[in-house]
Structure 1
Amino acid sequence: MLLTETTGPGTNAVGGKARGLYQLRAAGVAVPNFAVLPSETFAPLLAHLPTATDADLDTRQQALRAFQPTDAERAALQQVLAGWGFPARPVVVRSSVVDEDGADNSFAGLMDSFLNLTTEEAVWAAVAECAASAYSARARAYRQQRGLPPVALPGVIVQVQVAARTSGVLFSTWPEYPPEMAIHALWGFGEALVSGAQQPDEFYLRKATGEVSYQQIAEKTQQLTAPSTTSGLAAQPVAADAQLTPSLLPTELTQLHALGQHLESAFGAPQDVEFVVDTAGALWVVQARPITQPIPELLVFDNSNIQESYCGVTTPLTFSFARRAYATVYRQTMQALGVPPAEVAAHEPVVTQLLALVQGRIYYNINNWYRGLLLLPSFQQNKADMERMMGLEEPVDFVQPPRRSRLEQLRSAPRQAANLLRLLAAFAGLRRGVPKFQTQFAAAYQRFYSLPLAQLSQAELLAEKTRLDTELLAHWTTPIINDFRVMMYNGRALRGLRAAGVAQPEELLRRYLATDQQLASVQPVHRLLKLAAEARTFPGLAELVRTWPATIAEEVAQRYPAFHLAVQDFIAEYGDRTVGELKLETTTMRTAPTIFYQYLRNLLMGPDKTNALEPAEGDAVTGAATAEIAGLLRQRGGLQGWALTRTLGRLQDAIRQREALRLERTRLFGMYRSLYRAAGRQLAAQGRLSRAEDVFYLTEDELTAALGAPVGLSSPALPLPSVPATIWLSSPTATSPDLRVVVAARQQEFAAYEQAEVPTRVTVPASPHRMAPPLAATDGLLQGTGCFPGIVEGEVLVVRRPEDDLSVAGKIVCALRTDPGWATLFPACKAVVIEKGSSLSHSVIILRELGIPTIINVPGLTRQLQSGQRVVLDGQAGTLRIQPRPAG
């Protein structure tokens, strides 16, 4: 029997390739005319033949080679060929075995194809050989390797041959890097491409946009063409001027991108597509089948924002604690939104993997942050707001809400609405909730620091850790709800400004927010400036601090007891506010008072800046922003103006509360730091660690076990996902009972991480394309985003890690990241440049309030500049111009 593309397959076994052609036509894709001889055509030849041995399979192959069509089949094919304009238009014969081109088994290239056939005898001879190739040695070996039954049910396709200008293969999703689709193409017929005989042009397109992310043009010296006098193909030279010319035009790449998107959506899976562009420029699809290679989930890790808190390489103890803290807080958030307990439990793989450790650096696991947002309504809007707050330079679009029918949407609407109402109710409750939270925290804070930590037993230390976990960390809902409030109102404010016609709403909003002088994060700076002014009133004290003896803290305590008491009060309240303050291994003012005197010395080395936080410095900029927004609101008026005014007010209030609550977070981390340092001292005294500081190279679970925590009392284990080990700690749990062995191995591992250059975004799998070379200064000019205006010239101090030189007085400080602890350094800085930063981060807010010229997001800043170089900085334009070194 003979089936055509118009009659359809019916119940016949047409095979995988023919089934794909029917599906392509149904999807509206241009497919060359075809006819199918289904497996029922060949069944009588095979019906009674055995399959037990290799000889039996040889017999089946020989029987198929002897195939002869019936008179009815000959007549039917003659009629079809005539309709196609045969023999003027040649045909091809291709296989279509029943289990070919399936979701799991492709049989790619294993059966024979015959091209450029121009006689009926040649067509029928090719049909017999094509069917027989289902039992070829390579096809049989493939079946054995794949665990398939030895019996093949061959079908055969006869199809109009397209006059090929270009042929190629399209993978609608590239398994090596799923955000892209891959297209390989060359001149002429594609047999040389699929066989690997010739090097094709390679094009890689971003699936989301169709933009060419990478291409490699081959030198195409030969092409396969269809001679008019003989069957089959022949190799001919490519014209010299076409050998290095791309075989696909930009418009054709656009067509292929749309085709790949369409087929993947229509067939519900990534597709392997063979296509031909004919000599008239028309695009034809000659085959589509599922990609049988597993498509890995693309994991995206980004540290654009979190490196502000965890700058550079971070120790295992900090990472394991931070990961547990994020998981604990996220569970509380879901519970506050009314998520059912069963669904909270189902989200454990998400909440326990919100963070990743990439070569010693903490990253967000972006996939899981997006999955968490699926619990809220308006996913796309919240996603955009979260990306803005995280400082993501490139959105990630592969995590999307599941497609639901209208009925499913109606059923889920009450639940989504209830979640939103709970969130809004939680926002409203913050007015009373924040003071209550701060009162409870203050009581726990004072109680903790009244303890003689050095005298507590190991069991008592564990009990204090449990108390911190249960009384504070397990009740952190208020700060996280307020963070949601900042995220949502920031997004709403930007949308409102954009709707009001503001061309650059982000820039205007940055300036407007700098009018707030009440942020809690700036209070330590006020106090430090006052202490510097007070130090100047004590005869000889300022000079003592400037000369910087090794025993500075002891000498001040002995010679200036009143000032020493003031310093002690400052450290008791703000001793954890230090550069790198969320890294448990960081030495803070609380653990080393000398750090306070370093900050004080920075201030005493320059002029008195007691009044640095007075509004006058920022009036020219922030006042203009306030006036601009006020004029905008007057112009708009009505409901729109009222809504924008209300949103801006709520955003300012939310940011003010956020800064206050982040100071409490700093203090919470400080308590855990003090606790773990005390534990380290005990383990070192017992000889189980070489030094107390080695405790930071243990994970939380290992430390609590070392302190003798009974089973069930240590922190719950957080399973590592199935991703390459290089993303995580290479030794996440101790494999040796000797803690010193574990620590030594990790110290060596993390020391190597210090030398590694790690990008802001890491994907698994990674893009296999060559990475771009490091950015170099163009004519000595570096470009970033200006955050506060001012033109200054001065000496650069590059700070990559908290351990670097922090003598910032009078310097243009160039930092990889900044965090709240930098606030104590900022007043002494001449200007600040940050390689990666968010304009809404608290440190940038403080810099604006201090009136310090500031630039953020300068690519490669800390690699391209060295301490001691001189630059001219323009905070308005966001530029740094490197000055030539003096001759000699």
Structure 2
Amino acid sequence: MLLSNSLTPGAAAIGGKAAGLFRLRQLGLAVPPFAVLPADAFASLLSALPAASDADLDARQASLLAYEPTPEDRTALQVQLAGWDFPARPVAVRSSVADEDGAGHSFAGLMDSFLNLTTEDEIWAAVARCAASAYSVRARAYRRQRGLPLTARPAVVVQAQVAARTSGVLFSTWPEYPVEMTIHALWGFGEALVSGAQQPDEFYLRKATGELTHQQLADKAQRLAFVPGAAGLHQAPVAAHEQLAPCLSPAELTQLHTLGQQLETALGGPQDVEFVVDEADRLWVVQARPITQPIPELLVLDNSNIQESYCGVTTPLTFSFARRAYATVYRQTMRALGVPAAEVEAHEPVVTQLLALVQGRIYYHINHWYRGLLLLPSFQQNKADMERMMGLEEPVDFVQPPRRSRLEQLRSAPRLAANLLRLLAAFAGLRRAVPAFHARLAAAYQRFYTLPLAQLSGAQLMTEKSRLDQELLSHWTTPIINDFRVMMANGRALRNLRAAGVAEPEDLLRRYLASDQQLASVQPVHRLLALARQAHTYPGLPELIQALPADVAGQVAASYPQFEQAARQFMEEFGDRTVGELKLETATMRTQPRIFYQYLRNLVAVPPADPAANPSGISPSAAADIEALLNRLPRLRRWALIRSLTGLQEAIRHREALRLERTRLFGMYRSLYRAAGERLTQAGRLFQSEDVFMLTENEIAEALTGTPATPAPALPSPAPGIWLSPPPAHTTDLSALAAARQQEFTRYEQLAVPARVTVPAAPVRTLPAAARETNGVLRGTGCYPGVAEGEALVVRRPEDDLNVAGKIVCALRTDPGWATLFPACRAVAIEKGSSLSHSVIILRELGIPTIINVPGLTQQLQSGQRLVLDGQAGTLQLLPATPPLAENPSALSASHA
């Protein structure tokens, strides 16, 4: 019946912990030798006993306590012990219930373990008590809360005990910040860590590299130690020079990082690993089980590049339009690359979330841009090229191509090759496609500005919007194909320059491209300079422009009609080009001609000289450097470099010309929506026409046509102030809705927002004690998110009041014995503890907002005080003694995120 670690368990019911040990052995890891008594060893004690009531469960527990091993099991264990150098080397007895250590239920610390056993009688007594603990009160409470059967099937592990120099727990993925793994460890045996009795050292490593990003060292004055001849473990002093020293060396942290990566890959997901380092500095793995807390995907939002187009706070209308435009264009691109329709459909969650709005600023949703690249071959190269184009200072490493077998790679190779060929063919066709695109847009542009927008009905305005969607936005493949070409050509040029021995290829390439006078983006500047020079040929006109009266456009038209005609022609051609031109709410030269004269005023003060043309489009210094470089290259390398540089320059010229067309398209939508704002204001639906920008596209369409729009379901906000999709309207009163959003977005104007935002946010590491309490706020380490408001219950000793129902429990420490109390708590704050202790693991499983390591928590608070606990921010806010609506039960709220 007794199974040794050298055997295979077969069909025996050995429970989760024992099964995990067998898997670890199969992976070739150092696991202390063990033997297992499977559930069948105890089945006869339970078979005749019901499990309908607590009295029945008490009877099952009593029956297991009376367990006696068979003579065969005694003999088999004696054989094992002899090979383990027993009793010189003690053993441990640990539980292994059938549903323990599973993907959804850890049972962390709920069953009993027994260490430092040195006699056979102690071992067999511990086996009985360990099996019986499967029916303990706390184990039953956990089963009931988790909806598990009450009929536990215990198995028991007997394992050689390692003489622990250091013990710890490794989370291969840290749920609070999934780009890190975390290790908590202390001197001696680990029971003091998992029980929460002692503060451990904490180490946080970047998963991708193993780099130590943060460590927090505890004052480790005591350790649990094995004392020869004494039962159990005992407190022993730690040497003075080790009390504040890290209990793991850099080499051991590297070893543990490798172990965490290996186990996560081999076992199919993030792992909670218990380990021991012995006196000979050897690493032993004692246990590995799935992390039961859901691991959120790290959401990375970055606006390093897109802020050039959407600077500052952007309105809901612009975000909803830009999000739809990006999705429309991306779908076209996938179709152009020959991606099957089913796969395009499967990528819809990615395509519709390429952008996000963070406190009013538009960001790239980086995760989804990377996932889009997975459809193309050479992911790593394209990823690096895209990061360079987007200006990302820190790459994202957790989006990677799926690992595929050689057979899967062979099967997918033809399709990826076909995608690449289509892309290259599309690049080759750009010389024809770009002029055709310009012609299409020019025709639509001319037609659109003949429309009497102010006279169109709401339905007619939406018809014109649909026409723009169908005729132009739905045929936007050419610009996006060219953007791919720029991205890949830029990467190729840099690689060729680097291969040619250029020490700073980015600098040389930047100088090579910097002064290209043929770029479309430069043309408005030249035209404006020419108009400034022309203005000086009209007496009095420069002075009028510099004075800039409110009706400057009308005065110029009246007094200088010839110049006004040239200015109007400029505005018709470039009137949508302005700072913030892709934001629909931006006033442009087309909507406010005075803006044109504001720009011109800066140039007429001093007559600008006619700049000398640079027909080559290359700065002289860059041209000389390139020429010198080419002269020393072999012919083939020289040809490749010239081809990559000229190809990149051509692609950038196309890009700038096509971006001007994008500006014009956005200008047409801007004109439509401004007309829509006027229409809704005339109908009394808005206070003023500018309020239209506080609505989304779907809200405007519904208001103008009376037909409810059918948008994709709005996505929940991953954090306050972040929109992944336009939120649903909370009222049909458009004026009230616009006013509420205006207030919200005005508030955002005052906030400083970083270029990169992650959800979950990078954790705020522990603050110095002096900074922990400010303005009635206590600060600790958030362990599980959620906001709860309620009455505090301060627990300093086990004999204190434990009426926890509906209260925010503030405890000095917790241990797994609290499992019977946790489900009734509203939230939990712990003064001292490890986020990897068994009790905190259970709190996370139960979804209860939790904070740990709050200095002075139980001294500064009293039971009955009212608090707001924020498990994400790690804060406790003390509320006034008599809050408003104190008698109203609805005023008390808790949300378990």
Q: TM exceeds 0.5? A: yes
Residue equivalent to 1:183: 183
Residue equivalent to 2:102: 102
RMSD of equivalent CA atoms: 2.0
Deviation digits for residues 195-224 of structure 1 (CA, Å, limit 9, x no counterpart): 111111111111001111222212222211
Alpha-carbon distance change, 495 to 587 in structure 1, aligned in 2, over 3 angstroms = same
Q: Is the Cα–Cα contact under 8 Å of residues 143 and 149 in structure 1 kept in the other structure? A: yes
Q: Is the Cα–Cα contact under 8 Å of residues 354 and 364 in structure 1 kept in the other structure? A: yes
* One-letter code aligned to 2:760: P
Mapped to 2, the partners of 1:418 and 1:613 lie a distance apart of 47
Structure 1 residue runs without a partner (length 5+)? 774-888
User: Any residues of structure 2 matched to 1:45-194 within 5 Å, and which?
Assistant: 45-194=45-194
Mapped to 1, the partners of 2:711 and 2:706 lie a distance apart of 12
Secondary structure of 1:342's match?
Answer: helix
1:629 lines up with 2:618 in the alignment: no
Residue equivalent to 2:776: none
Alpha-carbon distance change, 512 to 755 in structure 1, aligned in 2, over 3 angstroms = same
User: Any residues of structure 2 matched to 1:790-805 within 5 Å, and which?
Assistant: none
Residue equivalent to 2:638: 641
**Higher mean C-alpha displacement, 293-302 vs 497-506:** 497-506
Mapped to 2, the partners of 1:572 and 1:146 lie a distance apart of 67
Alpha-carbon distance change, 715 to 674 in structure 1, aligned in 2, over 3 angstroms = farther
Mapped to 2, the partners of 1:235 and 1:126 lie a distance apart of 21
Mapped to 2, the partners of 1:2 and 1:697 lie a distance apart of 71
**Higher mean C-alpha displacement, 685-694 vs 744-753:** 685-694
Alignment partner for residue 744 of structure 1, among 739, 754, 775?
739
Question: Displaced runs of 4+ in structure 1, greater than 3 A?
Answer: 607-619, 714-719, 721-726, 770-773
1:658 lines up with 2:678 in the alignment: no
Mapped to 2, the partners of 1:589 and 1:437 lie a distance apart of 25
User: Any residues of structure 2 matched to 1:18-57 within 5 Å, and which?
Assistant: 18-57=18-57
Following superposition, the deviation at residue 58 of structure 1 comes to 1.4
Following superposition, the deviation at residue 502 of structure 1 comes to 2.1
Q: Is the Cα–Cα contact under 8 Å of residues 326 and 354 in structure 1 kept in the other structure? A: yes
Residue equivalent to 1:608: 607
Residue equivalent to 2:596: 596
Following superposition, the deviation at residue 752 of structure 1 comes to 1.2
Secondary structure of 2:705's match?
Answer: coil
Residue equivalent to 2:445: 445
Following superposition, the deviation at residue 123 of structure 1 comes to 1.5
Residue equivalent to 1:221: 221
Residue equivalent to 2:556: 556
Mapped to 2, the partners of 1:685 and 1:730 lie a distance apart of 29
* One-letter code aligned to 1:529: L
Q: Is the Cα–Cα contact under 8 Å of residues 301 and 366 in structure 2 kept in the other structure? A: yes
Mapped to 1, the partners of 2:563 and 2:364 lie a distance apart of 43
**Higher mean C-alpha displacement, 458-467 vs 742-751:** 458-467
1:258 lines up with 2:258 in the alignment: yes
Residue equivalent to 1:271: 271
Mapped to 2, the partners of 1:60 and 1:763 lie a distance apart of 50
Deviation digits for residues 329-362 of structure 1 (CA, Å, limit 9, x no counterpart): 1111111112222222222222111111111111
Mapped to 2, the partners of 1:214 and 1:518 lie a distance apart of 50
Secondary structure of 1:520's match?
Answer: coil
Residue equivalent to 1:806: none
Alpha-carbon distance change, 161 to 323 in structure 1, aligned in 2, over 3 angstroms = same
Residue equivalent to 1:425: 425
Mapped to 2, the partners of 1:716 and 1:332 lie a distance apart of 19
Mapped to 2, the partners of 1:517 and 1:395 lie a distance apart of 33
**Higher mean C-alpha displacement, 471-480 vs 729-738:** 729-738
Alpha-carbon distance change, 617 to 597 in structure 1, aligned in 2, over 3 angstroms = farther
Q: Is the Cα–Cα contact under 8 Å of residues 385 and 490 in structure 1 kept in the other structure? A: yes
Alpha-carbon distance change, 603 to 134 in structure 1, aligned in 2, over 3 angstroms = same
User: Any residues of structure 2 matched to 1:281-360 within 5 Å, and which?
Assistant: 281-360=281-360
* One-letter code aligned to 2:662: R
Q: Is the Cα–Cα contact under 8 Å of residues 526 and 613 in structure 1 kept in the other structure? A: no
Q: Is the Cα–Cα contact under 8 Å of residues 462 and 709 in structure 1 kept in the other structure? A: no
Mapped to 2, the partners of 1:181 and 1:612 lie a distance apart of 58
Residue equivalent to 1:474: 474
Q: Is the Cα–Cα contact under 8 Å of residues 204 and 213 in structure 1 kept in the other structure? A: yes
Following superposition, the deviation at residue 42 of structure 1 comes to 1.7
Following superposition, the deviation at residue 522 of structure 1 comes to 0.2
Secondary structure of 1:720's match?
Answer: coil
**Higher mean C-alpha displacement, 311-320 vs 4-13:** 4-13
Alpha-carbon distance change, 474 to 616 in structure 1, aligned in 2, over 3 angstroms = closer
Residue equivalent to 1:732: 727
User: Any residues of structure 2 matched to 1:784-863 within 5 Å, and which?
Assistant: none
Structure 2 residue runs without a partner (length 5+)? 769-897
Secondary structure of 1:300's match?
Answer: strand
Following superposition, the deviation at residue 241 of structure 1 comes to 2.7
Alpha-carbon distance change, 235 to 179 in structure 1, aligned in 2, over 3 angstroms = same
Residue equivalent to 1:768: 763
Mapped to 1, the partners of 2:451 and 2:726 lie a distance apart of 34
Following superposition, the deviation at residue 730 of structure 1 comes to 9.7
Q: Is the Cα–Cα contact under 8 Å of residues 379 and 401 in structure 2 kept in the other structure? A: yes
Alpha-carbon distance change, 618 to 722 in structure 1, aligned in 2, over 3 angstroms = closer
Deviation digits for residues 383-410 of structure 1 (CA, Å, limit 9, x no counterpart): 1111111111111122222222222222
Residue equivalent to 1:758: 753
Alpha-carbon distance change, 771 to 310 in structure 1, aligned in 2, over 3 angstroms = farther
Q: Is the Cα–Cα contact under 8 Å of residues 320 and 725 in structure 2 kept in the other structure? A: no
Mapped to 2, the partners of 1:598 and 1:744 lie a distance apart of 31
Q: Is the Cα–Cα contact under 8 Å of residues 508 and 625 in structure 1 kept in the other structure? A: yes
Mapped to 2, the partners of 1:82 and 1:252 lie a distance apart of 31
Mapped to 2, the partners of 1:118 and 1:340 lie a distance apart of 66
TM-score, normalised to structure 2's length? Answer: 0.83
**Higher mean C-alpha displacement, 446-455 vs 568-577:** 446-455
Q: Is the Cα–Cα contact under 8 Å of residues 360 and 729 in structure 1 kept in the other structure? A: no
Aligned residues: 768
Mapped to 2, the partners of 1:469 and 1:365 lie a distance apart of 23
Alignment partner for residue 675 of structure 2, among 669, 673, 678?
678
Residue equivalent to 2:793: none
1:693 lines up with 2:671 in the alignment: no
Alpha-carbon distance change, 771 to 129 in structure 1, aligned in 2, over 3 angstroms = closer
Identical residues among aligned pairs (%) = 72
Following superposition, the deviation at residue 263 of structure 1 comes to 0.4
Secondary structure of 1:276's match?
Answer: strand
Mapped to 2, the partners of 1:742 and 1:613 lie a distance apart of 54
Mapped to 2, the partners of 1:562 and 1:722 lie a distance apart of 55
Deviation digits for residues 482-504 of structure 1 (CA, Å, limit 9, x no counterpart): 11110111111112222222222
Q: Is the Cα–Cα contact under 8 Å of residues 490 and 651 in structure 1 kept in the other structure? A: yes
* One-letter code aligned to 2:553: A
Residue equivalent to 1:586: 586
Mapped to 2, the partners of 1:32 and 1:123 lie a distance apart of 17
Alpha-carbon distance change, 308 to 281 in structure 1, aligned in 2, over 3 angstroms = same
User: Any residues of structure 2 matched to 1:538-553 within 5 Å, and which?
Assistant: 538-553=538-553
1:708 lines up with 2:705 in the alignment: yes
Deviation digits for residues 734-788 of structure 1 (CA, Å, limit 9, x no counterpart): 2322210110110011111111222111122222234999xxxxxxxxxxxxxxx
Alpha-carbon distance change, 325 to 616 in structure 1, aligned in 2, over 3 angstroms = closer
Residue equivalent to 2:576: 576
Following superposition, the deviation at residue 467 of structure 1 comes to 1.3
Deviation digits for residues 9-35 of structure 1 (CA, Å, limit 9, x no counterpart): 232222111111111111121111112
Following superposition, the deviation at residue 617 of structure 1 comes to 14
Following superposition, the deviation at residue 132 of structure 1 comes to 1.2
